[in-house]
Amino acid sequence: MTRKLFVKSYGCQMNVYDSHRMADTLAPEGFVETASPDDADLVILNTCNIREKAADKVYSELGRIRELKEAAAADGRRVTVAVAGCVAQAEGNEIFRRERSVDVVVGPQSYHRLPDILRRAEHVRTIDTEFPAEDKFGQLAQPTRAAIRKRGLSAFITVQEGCDKFCTFCVVPYTRGAEVSRPAAKIIAEAEHLAGAGVREITLLGQNVNAYHGEDGNGRTTTLGRLMHRLADIPGIARLRYSTSHPCDMNDDLVAAHRDLPALMPQLHLPVQSGSDRILAAMNRGHTRADYLRQIERLRAARPDIAFSSDFIVGFPGETEQDFGDTLRLLGEVGFASAYSFKYSPRPGTPAAGMEQVPEAVKNERLRRLQSAIEKCQAVFMDACVGMTFDVLFDKPGRHPGQIVGRSPYLQPVPVIGPASLIGEIAPVTILEVRTNSLFGALAHAPAQPAQSRETVGA
């Protein structure tokens, strides 16, 4: 019997990856994905708990799902509702109490048990938020070739989960647990499987991905840098990326990989959170502003064309106008290509939630100033791309006839006039113009004409 599954992901890319793997694991149970909750038999909300706003969204969405569920029940159709992800892990039974429509609460470490959990949930509300000993990834099903193709040329692989850093603002060490790295052989097999179905770009994911230290198969541990070398050798894999990194874990192997591997894209998301040493210490980041700048320098020395993006928090407890000024100055000093900025959001159970809070109005005002400074940085970076020629991985037709769209090494969308036959391929493009959030370009080599042999020309 086929049943319809609707999965919605909130938050980070790791949730997107987990949602895919949940769908892959439920496919042999007869579940086929649908794009809307309206006709779904099973709805999974894969939730994010990083900030209060993200967590609140789940409850408003659950209200809408409850109405769908009740309307379906009136028609004699049962809809099962599951809450997965970090809100499930953090709130557990509280979710059942607050929302009567929820049948299943499942934490990120238990997704491989979903088929069993769903069978149990036919009779009774079921919760699983354990951190089981068995290897979740080893037991989650791999996607079929058809599922991989549908998801496109770029794929994610989670290589590491959890975090041991305990930044004082962050819930991740509590919701995702301690740092665990997958064995290298498993990651390579997964990458080969994806490449075999046409994937050209792989982004390795982890909450602290550059702390990766998986087994290398010889009883020793390996590093992310060495893993990158092995992935770059897989036929078909043209581009590698990784996210998200911590400045303290940028080890020599990884910096050397940026120098030695053309497939490792010259783009790095390296969250700094604040430019003030006082605030960095209060956040328990384990590095100073100068340490961060040193890492940027090391990486630029290894790969001069590397571009950086970052995350910033404004209004962390105790942040003064001077601290905030230090953050603004850091932005200018590094010259980020892009950045995300967030107002500090107190999370239950984290140390910073109990500290003296910055008033909301101050947070709002700082966020506005930071965002306008970030926009300026982004514009400088985009403008500097004009006239440059770089490789673009084309992944889809454009909005206008005769157009195709790809991604630059820096992830900007690049539309060009070009043949659909280039989709799936990489070709050099000269950037002509900056458009809203994209770079318009022209293929550097006109597409090959049908070959005429020299002999014919000479005759």
Where do contacts with ligand 5AD occur on this chain (CB under 6 A)?
Answer: 50-51, 169-170, 271, 273, 311, 313, 342, 344-345, 347
Pick one of 79, 84, 87, 167: the residue that binds ligand SF4 (CB under 6 A). 167
318, two tokens: 């105790």
Of residues 215-274, those binding ligand SF4 (CB under 6 A)? 246
Compute how many other C-beta atoms are within 10 angstroms of the C-beta atom of residue 8: 16
Q: 91 or 190: whose CB is closer to ligand 5AD?
A: 91
447, amino acid identity = P
For residues 227 and 157, what is the distance between their CA atoms, to the nearest angstrom? 13
SS3 state at 431: strand
* 163 binding partner (options ligand SF4, ligand 5AD, none; Cβ < 5 to 8 Å by kind): ligand SF4
User: In angstroms, rounded to a whole number, what is the distance separating the alpha carbons of residues 96 and 92?
Assistant: 8
User: By CB under 6 A, which span of 61-69, 89-97, 165-173, 450-458 interacts with ligand SF4?
Assistant: 165-173
CA-CA distance, 283 to 285, in Å (whole number)? 5
Q: What angle do CA 265, 268, 271 make, to 5 degrees?
A: 170
**Site of tokens 């550059």:** 210
In the complex with ligand SF4, the residue whose CB is nearer, 229 or 241, is 241
Candidates 34-42, 109-117, 162-170, 399-407: pick the segment binding ligand SF4 (CB under 6 A).
162-170
Q: Which residue has the tokens 């969405």?
A: 61
- The H or E element spanning position 240 is strand 239-243
Indicate which single residue of 20, 51, 69, 165 sits in contact with ligand SF4 (rule: CB under 6 A): 165
Does residue 208 bind ligand SF4 (CB under 6 A)? yes
Of 249 and 395, CB closest to ligand 5AD: 249
Whose Cβ is closer to ligand SF4: residue 285's or residue 366's?
Answer: 285
Q: Give CA separation, 149 vs 203, 241, 398, in Å.
A: 16, 20, 19
Least distance (Å) from ligand SF4 to the CB of residue 164?
8
Applying CB under 6 A, does 363 fall inside the site for ligand SF4? Answer: no
- Min separation Cβ 340 and ligand 5AD, Å: 7
Contact call for residue 49 and ligand SF4 (CB under 6 A): no
End-to-end CA distance of the chain: 67
Residue closer to ligand SF4 by CB (options 173, 177) is 173
Nearby residues of 434 by Cβ (< 8 Å), 6 or more positions away: 379, 382, 383, 385, 386, 440
Contact in structure between 6 and 42 (CB atoms under 8 Å):
yes
Residue span 168-187 as binding mask against ligand SF4, x where in contact by CB under 6 A, dash where not: --x-xx--------------
Q: Which residues bind ligand SF4 (CB under 6 A)?
A: 163, 165-167, 170, 172-173, 207-208, 246
